[in-house]
Amino acid sequence: MHIRCQQEILLESVNTVLKAVSNRTTLPILECILIQTKNDKLVLVGNDLELGIESTIASDILEPGYVALEAKIFSEIIRKLPNEEIEISVDENYMTTIRCHNSKFQIAGQSGDDFPELPKVEKLHGVTLPQPKLKDIIRQTHFSIAQEETRPILTGALMQLKDDGLNMVTVDGYRISYRHTDLSIENDNVNVVVPGKTLGEISKILSTEDTDIVTIFFTDKHVLFDLGSSTVVSRLLEGEFLRYEQSFSSDYETKVLIDRNALLLSIERAALISREGKKNPIKIQLTSDKMIITSNTDLGTAREEITASLDGKDLLIAFNPKYLIEALKAIDDDQVEIYFISSLAPCIIQPVKGNDFKYLILPIRLSA
Amino acid sequence: MHIRCQQEILLESVNTVLKAVSNRTTLPILECILIQTKNDKLVLVGNDLELGIESTIASDILEPGYVALEAKIFSEIIRKLPNEEIEISVDENYMTTIRCHNSKFQIAGQSGDDFPELPKVEKLHGVTLPQPKLKDIIRQTHFSIAQEETRPILTGALMQLKDDGLNMVTVDGYRISYRHTDLSIENDNVNVVVPGKTLGEISKILSTEDTDIVTIFFTDKHVLFDLGSSTVVSRLLEGEFLRYEQSFSSDYETKVLIDRNALLLSIERAALISREGKKNPIKIQLTSDKMIITSNTDLGTAREEITASLDGKDLLIAFNPKYLIEALKAIDDDQVEIYFISSLAPCIIQPVKGNDFKYLILPIRLSA
């Protein structure tokens, strides 16, 4: 193999596929980036067998071929080179020479023959949306993916095509995040669970330009995100996801309309006193157009008061402040509505406009 | 005690004295910030017995007094409060109430009686310089303070008043950093060693405004930095510092004039291949107006070539790349001169203009 390409372009591509390179593995080939010529393009691939990313860039192909290079040292070299033309040549023993301006590196590569191919995913009935929108959807749901492996299916996010759009739902046993996005869909029979790690990594490579689009294709076993110059393929998680729909009841006894940012800051302050999280909940008291938040631990006490527009009964309820903080941060709107049934039932937080986001949070039982 | 002050002003003061608060200590009072009224001002103090910082701010004193508050929770509360008026009141049991807007915190304080006073330092024969200049001096020498405790005196920096100015010198066994600053001095008999930690912490609170000045006072046991609204007092290290002057010989066999940034980038790239540091030195070959840098390890090889203006004999010499990188980063000038005697003798790096900085670095012996 012998190619030439621009440093800046190669570096972006390397950074993209790095997201799928395994850090610790028993299979050393997975710590490599595969570099291969394909017609007049250069294709880079990272693949940790759960997640695979392929990136295609313009390149001057002097001699076709392929090589697998240890991702860490290769990416560090490309990152440190100046933005000029880089020349890469590989000899018959996979010894790889990288030249740029007055720099020359030689590193031992290996045959790419053992490098696992990306799963083939048929591109049928894809759904298309702007990349920043998918980035938002992930940001607004990713935080409540279960961290523990006790129910492996909950370490992923449910993606559904239904109700004329895409639903993304995450559940960690104490809360549910739901986000609906209206989209034109050709297939409303999709119900898959995508690993949390896949969504975290893809979120990092999604663009913030509204004109950049992503098309998502689903099969029984895999999901493919086509970003144009790069393609992300991930295995799906197998199993039955939580039937979340019935949890979002529309009944309520108490409804509160409140300034999102004021509430967020007050909870963050009260949480300073309940550093231990779940063991030291914060208490919320709703009464006559006020929300009073209190916290009381060995460290001391905190009391916050916020104006709120109350509809229904007075209420006293307690929460792990972390769950409220994360839900309130995920919402962009200025005001939120919170629906309560009782001090033992979950509350539902949502922006004032529409049903596109819903966050359900379980309370903590108050000791008498 | 009962006072009122503005959140922004109090927070800046808390952040300043926090630098001297001990994180882990057997004396719990040292984990506190002392807050005391002094005439019509509020004085905050942090003191870990090696380093003490006092900060004075404007405040509305309703009732004089003092209290010691656990620094972590107190600073977190002040940080999270809005920039409005904060009211702090302390009862006879040191229970402390902090009010701001609609927030109210109560935390248990303790009597400030056990809080160690800052050492008294007589303010005689001080030297005055702009704060950003002292910040620069520290940045340009701090990196070569010894990390290991084998020779405790080298874990500090030598500060000397002599040669019509201030010298700051640090030594870690493999290299010496020297920085001279011309200043008006009344006393040229100062030769003290300031702990590296003190310089690191003070550097964080020094302003970047040229109009902000710092005056430094020395005694046999202490150094005091008067920053105007705050005062930093540190113990000195006891012992004999390295007699560095004789190390900076002005003889040379080979002198090189080279672009600082090009050299820095080349060494950083070559260092990628010698990740292990000292065990894998980089080699520098000087010949006919070129510097060739090579590195050769299990990972592969690197070769860099830079144009250089050579005066004297050709030379082959090896270094730990980290030491060269840190010295080159500390220099702001575009070009540097490097003086060599032989492949076994230290080299001296300095900017082209003047003798204000000098960096001496020991080479690594090349195996045959």
In this prediction, residues A137-153 reach a mean pLDDT of: 94
| Contact (CB<8Å) A300/B106 | yes
pLDDT confidence of residue B355: 78
The minimal CB distance from A73 to the residues B82, B107, B272 is found for B272
Same domain, A295 and A204: no
In this prediction, residues B70-92 reach a mean pLDDT of: 97
Q: How far apart are CA B296 and CA B285, in angstroms?
A: 14
CATH code of the domain containing A174 = 3.10.150.10
A79 and chain B: CB distance < 8 Å anywhere?
no
The minimal CB distance from A299 to the residues B103, B107, B266 is found for B107
**Nearest C-alpha of chain A: how many angstroms from B95?**
9
Chain B residues in contact with A100 (beta carbon < 8 A): none
Q: How far apart are CA A122 and CA A4, in angstroms?
A: 32
- Classify residue A119: in a domain, yes or no: no
pLDDT in tens, B280-335: 899 999 998 999 999 999 889 999 999 999 999 999 999 999 999 999 999 999 99
A273 and chain B: CB distance < 8 Å anywhere?
yes
pLDDT confidence of residue A278: 53
**Nearest C-alpha of chain A: how many angstroms from B97?**
9
First to last CA, chain A: 74
> In the A/B pair of chains, how many CB contacts fall below 8 A?
75
pLDDT confidence of residue A25: 73
Q: Which residues contact A17 (CB under 8 A, 6 or more apart)?
A: A33, A44, A45, A46, A53, A54, A55, A230
pLDDT in tens, A184-219: 988 878 999 999 999 999 999 999 999 999 999 999
Q: How far apart are CA B271 and CA B322, in angstroms?
A: 8
- Classify residue A235: in a domain, yes or no: yes
pLDDT in tens, A133-142: 999 999 999 9
The minimal CB distance from A300 to the residues B80, B108, B273 is found for B108
| Contact (CB<8Å) A302/B104 | yes
Q: How far apart are CA A228 and CA A332, in angstroms?
A: 28
pLDDT confidence of residue B148: 84
Mutate to test the interface with A, among B285, B299, B306 (most CBs of A within 10 A): B299
Task: Choose between A293 and B163: higher pLDDT.
Answer: A293
Q: How far apart are CA A210 and CA A221, in angstroms?
A: 29
DSSP bridge pairs for B135: none
Q: How far apart are CA B341 and CA B348, in angstroms?
A: 9
- Classify residue A368: in a domain, yes or no: no
Same domain, B302 and B320: yes
Query: Is 0.95 surpassed by the pTM of this model?
Result: no
**Nearest C-alpha of chain A: how many angstroms from B106?**
5
A292 and chain B: CB distance < 8 Å anywhere?
no
Res B29 pLDDT > 80: yes
- Classify residue B119: in a domain, yes or no: no
pLDDT confidence of residue B276: 60
The minimal CB distance from A268 to the residues B80, B303, B306 is found for B80
Same domain, B354 and B258: yes
Dihedral pair phi/psi, residue A261, rounded to 5°: -70, -40
Q: How many domains does chain A have?
A: 3
Chain A residues in contact with B306 (beta carbon < 8 A): 102
- Classify residue A120: in a domain, yes or no: no
Instruction: Tell me which of A65-69, A214-218, A286-290 is least confident.
Output: A286-290
A264 and chain B: CB distance < 8 Å anywhere?
no
**Which residue from B120, B137, B158 is spatially nearest to B243, judged by alpha carbons?**
B158
Same domain, B109 and B193: no
B301 and chain A: CB distance < 8 Å anywhere?
yes
Q: Which residues contact A117 (CB under 8 A, 6 or more apart)?
A: none
Mapping DSSP to helix (H, G, I), strand (E, B) and coil, where does residue A93 land? coil
In this prediction, residues B11-22 reach a mean pLDDT of: 96
* Among candidate residues A114, A140, A171, the one where a domain is terminated: A114
A106 and chain B: CB distance < 8 Å anywhere?
yes
B102 and chain A: CB distance < 8 Å anywhere?
yes
| Contact (CB<8Å) A303/B81 | no
Q: Give percent above pLDDT 90 in chain A.
A: 88
Q: Which residues contact B214 (CB under 8 A, 6 or more apart)?
A: B128, B129, B130, B131, B134, B206, B225, B226, B227
Measured CA to CA in angstroms, residue A296 lies from A267, A300, B344 at distances of 13, 6, 67
Res A276 pLDDT > 80: no
Same domain, B137 and B199: yes
In this prediction, residues B218-227 reach a mean pLDDT of: 96
- Classify residue B348: in a domain, yes or no: yes
Chain B residues in contact with A75 (beta carbon < 8 A): none
Confidence band for B277, pLDDT divided at 50, 70 and 90: low
pLDDT in tens, B161-184: 988 999 999 999 899 999 999 999
Same domain, B101 and B148: no
The minimal CB distance from A103 to the residues B82, B105, B269 is found for B269
**Which residue from A177, A184, A175 is spatially nearest to A199, judged by alpha carbons?**
A177
A355 and chain B: CB distance < 8 Å anywhere?
no
* Among candidate residues B222, B245, B268, the one where a domain is terminated: B245
For residue A323, the enclosing domain spans 249-361
The minimal CB distance from B304 to the residues A103, A300, A304 is found for A103
Confidence band for B91, pLDDT divided at 50, 70 and 90: very high
The minimal CB distance from B300 to the residues A82, A102, A105 is found for A105
pLDDT confidence of residue A368: 59
Confidence band for A367, pLDDT divided at 50, 70 and 90: confident
**Which residue from B38, B49, B48, B46 is spatially nearest to B17, judged by alpha carbons?**
B46
pLDDT in tens, A316-363: 999 999 999 999 999 999 999 999 999 999 999 999 987 799 999 999
Chain A residues in contact with B80 (beta carbon < 8 A): 265, 268-269, 272
Same domain, A17 and A85: yes
Q: Mean pLDDT score of chain B, rounded to an integer?
A: 94
In this prediction, residues B55-84 reach a mean pLDDT of: 97
Same domain, B196 and B299: no
pLDDT confidence of residue A219: 94
Same domain, B257 and B214: no
**Residue A132 near residue A207, CB atoms below 8 Å:** yes
Residue A223's identity, in one-letter code, is V
Chain B residues in contact with A84 (beta carbon < 8 A): none
H or E stretch covering A350: strand A347-351
Same domain, A169 and A85: no
* Structural Rg of chain A based on CA atoms: 25
Q: Is the ipTM of this complex over 0.85?
A: yes
* Among candidate residues A245, A273, A305, the one where a domain is terminated: A245
pLDDT confidence of residue A354: 75
Same domain, B133 and B216: yes
The minimal CB distance from A104 to the residues B76, B103, B303 is found for B303
Same domain, B277 and B345: yes
CA A311 remoteness from chain centre: 35
- Classify residue B367: in a domain, yes or no: no
Q: How far apart are CA B181 and CA B137, in angstroms?
A: 8
B280 and chain A: CB distance < 8 Å anywhere?
no
**Residue B39 near residue B73, CB atoms below 8 Å:** no
- Classify residue A43: in a domain, yes or no: yes
| Contact (CB<8Å) A105/B81 | no
Q: Which residues contact A113 (CB under 8 A, 6 or more apart)?
A: none
Q: How far apart are CA B267 and CA B320, in angstroms?
A: 10
Confidence band for A182, pLDDT divided at 50, 70 and 90: very high
Q: How far apart are CA B173 and CA B118, in angstroms?
A: 33
